[in-house]
Amino acid sequence: MALSSVDHAIINRALIAASHEMGSKLIRSAHSPIVREAQDCSAAIINRQGKVVAQAELTAIQLGSIAQTLAPCLALFPVETIREGDFFINNDPYHGGQHIQDIFIFTPIFYDAVLIGFSASVVHHIDLGGGAPGLNPYADDVHQEGLIFPPTLYNLEHDWNGGPLERFITANVRMPDATIGDINAQFAANLIGAKRLIALVERYNVEQLSEAMDAMLDYSERRVRNAVRKLPNGTYYADAAVDDDGVNKTPLVIRTQLTVEDESLKISFEGTNSQVATNLNCPLASTVAAVVACAKSVLTDSDIPFNDGVGRVIEVSAPFGSLLNPSPPAPVRARLLASHRVFNAVMKALVQVAPDKVIAEGFDTTTPVCLSRIEGNDYNIYLEILGGGYGAGENNDGCDGVDSPLSNCANIPIESLEMDYRFLRIENYSLIPDSGGDGKHRGGLGFERSYRVLQEGVSFATYSDRFEIGPEGLFGGKPGGLASMFIDRNGEKIDLTSKMGCDLQKGDLLVIRTGGGAGYGEPEKRSADRIEHDVSEGLTRLQNR
């Protein structure tokens, strides 16, 4: 019997709710602060054909490419060979993955021995081996960044829970309790997804569930095509740039050509910078995810499910061997810096066709702070993703002190951080006044986070951007403020570059200052009420007005 519109709505909302519950389970079950506090993870429900139908609203860059990460697994291990208890694992940047630290786990879901779909989870793991604890800023190739798990099929009973895969990982990472604990959280989240899918089949049946999943994909596709159809046909060009590759002080240009053809979009990155020797290379899966995230956020409404139906409308290409589609074994750890500039470039192209729906550039930079120390025979590794200011929009100021659109991580509360990492203390965590660009609507403010080093033997590593090229304003808005970082060592200021690592001394104060977002509209049109609010809240200094 065909499903009614009410049944379709029930299944639709149940699948979305299941993916959100998976995300909550993942966060609550995780071992590492980067997951349980910062929420650097994602979860999704996938149909029998390997297409994402529902996903938790967590880390956008991970969400947009889950189907691409599953596809090489299914190519090697067809569905008819999969059995209950099996699972796929993949973190290979050159076979559908993004960067090595993001491990994707896919659990097949069966009902009466019939495959009905997959549950999927991805977590950013603090340490997966490699040439340095937590983050190796000087990796020459991808192998120095950690363990690579190519698309592979394992069995939970035979290979995990003390089995060979778990023992292999334990022997090759610096913090095995954290890594194994976070992988177990992924299995727990996937189990929740499986239970919810099976409950739907028990209420309906396999065919009706499959029909409803197909309808969800078709609905998202139809809504996105309707939005694209309103745009003028043509090809539109825009560029964005990363400051440098960490060695040569030459900007890395990302060149975008966005073509609107009736009800579809084609985005090409022909002419983009060639791949580089450092870790800023961006695997194609991350490039696609950044494009889709930007296009959907600008052109559609939040009520449209973010699933693989959206991707049917958008075709993405990037030259092989370029920054956005590198050839192996190029290192890729810092791929989000280029991904953010993809987001910026596509947004700037969309300014030309949907000027009332875009926002100005934000800080839009992933700034991981990695501090590590050997304590006895064990490593203790702190890793946190810092954000900055959002770009302003037509009707709003940019958000202050939040992560960027593609990574979307929360901050680790100071109390939790200092409890887990006794070798450091936070001495300042505050917004930076006037770091957002002026405009009718101002850009969001960046912030400072300062770490006092309490013990010897602490190492620091990071990659960041916007030290040289600030975010651009729109329609008369001013650029956002630049980022910087330095060490205060007994009163001596030691300036640091944006992509580097070094050893710290006991007593050092490591100061990280992130950049602000750009303004939207002419500053002269800003209302007196908004200016007064900014002054009263300490977001601007009166003498600057």
Residue 122 lies in a domain: yes
How many domains in the chain?
A: 2
Residue 418 lies in a domain: yes
Task: Look at residue 89 and tell me whether its pLDDT is greater than 50.
Answer: yes
User: Each residue of 145-165: pLDDT tens digit?
Assistant: 999 999 999 999 999 999 999
Residue 539 is predicted with a pLDDT of: 93
> Which of 89, 91, 95, 110 is closest to 159 using CA atoms?
89
User: Each residue of 470-528: pLDDT tens digit?
Assistant: 999 999 999 999 999 999 999 999 999 999 999 999 999 999 999 999 999 999 999 99
Residue 467 lies in a domain: yes
What's the number of CA atoms in the CB half-sphere (13 Å) around residue 227?
22
Q: Which two tokens stand for residue 376?
A: 């006895």
Which value, to the nearest 10 degrees, does the dihedral of the CA atoms of residues 66, 69, 75, 78 take? -50
Determine the average pLDDT of the residues in 122-135: 95
Residue 503 lies in a domain: yes
> Which of 309, 305, 299, 303 is closest to 227 using CA atoms?
299
Task: Look at residue 544 and tell me whether its pLDDT is greater than 80.
Answer: no
Domain that holds residue 446: 359-545
Pick from 170, 197, 221: which residue ends a domain?
221
Give CA–CA dist 291/324, Å, rounded.
Answer: 11
Residue 271 lies in a domain: no
Task: Look at residue 533 and tell me whether its pLDDT is greater than 80.
Answer: yes
Q: What is the pTM of this model?
A: 0.96
Residue 57 is predicted with a pLDDT of: 85
Residue 14 lies in a domain: yes
Count CB neighbours of 211 within 10 A.
17
Give CA–CA dist 199/189, Å, rounded.
Answer: 16
Confidence of residue 58 (pLDDT cuts 50, 70, 90): confident
What is the 3-state composition of the chain as percent helix, strand, coil, each rounded to the nearest 5? 30, 25, 45
Pick from 161, 189, 221: which residue ends a domain?
221
Residue 48 lies in a domain: yes
Residue 246 lies in a domain: no
Alpha helices in 232-334 (DSSP H): 284-299, 308-311
Pick from 202, 221, 240: which residue ends a domain?
221
Confidence of residue 108 (pLDDT cuts 50, 70, 90): very high
Task: Look at residue 543 and tell me whether its pLDDT is greater than 50.
Answer: no
Pairing outcome for strands 314-317 and 264-268: parallel
Residue 1 is predicted with a pLDDT of: 66
Domain with residue 56: its CATH number is 3.30.450
Residue 10 is predicted with a pLDDT of: 95
> Which of 444, 467, 474 is closest to 241 using CA atoms?
467
For residue 509, the SS3 value is strand
Residue 438 is predicted with a pLDDT of: 97
